[in-house]
């Protein structure tokens, strides 16, 4: 079992790595077959999508709190178990400092 903290450019990039499309059918007009888009299937059993993370802000005046400032990227935690292949995730792996926003319990 390996816990990975991942940072992607955006949600779309994360989906291309974490999910695959199954059941898709290409159109074949000669045989009367219409295209079917298919459905997403997770490549990993344990995916925890966090999404956007915001920088901590000191609130000096509760009446005028500061605007939230997002960190760049889209964040996801994955717990790799059994024979799941973690290699496709390695380019996105980060070491969150000072600590992860969420961890597996």
Provide the pLDDT for residue 88: 97
Provide the pLDDT for residue 99: 79
User: Is 102 within the bounds of a domain?
Assistant: no
**Total domains present in the chain:** 1
Provide the pLDDT for residue 49: 96
Per-residue pLDDT of the chain (105 residues; tens, 9 = 90+): 999 999 999 999 999 999 999 987 888 888 888 887 888 999 999 999 999 999 888 888 989 888 999 999 999 999 999 999 999 999 999 998 887 888 887
Provide the pLDDT for residue 105: 78
- The helix or strand, by DSSP H or E, that contains position 8, with its residue range, turns out to be strand 2-8
Provide the pLDDT for residue 23: 86
pTM score: 0.80
Q: Which domain holds residue 32?
A: 2-94
User: Is 100 within the bounds of a domain?
Assistant: no
Provide the pLDDT for residue 103: 84
User: Is 81 within the bounds of a domain?
Assistant: yes
CA separation, residue 75 to residues 14, 24, 44, 47 (Å): 8, 28, 16, 11
User: Is 99 within the bounds of a domain?
Assistant: no
Instruction: Please provide residue 7's backbone torsions phi and psi, each rounded to the nearest 5 degrees.
Output: -130, 120
- Residue 48 CB burial class (10 angstroms; 0-12, 13-18, ≥19): middle
User: Is 85 within the bounds of a domain?
Assistant: yes
């Amino acid at each position: 079992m390996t816990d990975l903290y991942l940072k992607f450019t955006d949600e779309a990039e994360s989906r291309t790595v974490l999910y695959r499309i199954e059941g898709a059918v290409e159109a074949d007009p000669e045989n009367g077959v219409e295209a079917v888009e298919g459905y997403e299937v997770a490549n990993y059993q344990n995916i925890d999508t966090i999404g956007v993370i915001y920088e901590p802000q000191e609130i000096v005046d509760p009446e005028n709190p500061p605007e939230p400032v997002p960190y760049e990227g889209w964040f996801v935690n994955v717990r790799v178990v059994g024979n799941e292949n973690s290699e496709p995730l390695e380019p996105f792996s980060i070491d969150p400092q000072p600590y992860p926003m969420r961890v597996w319990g």
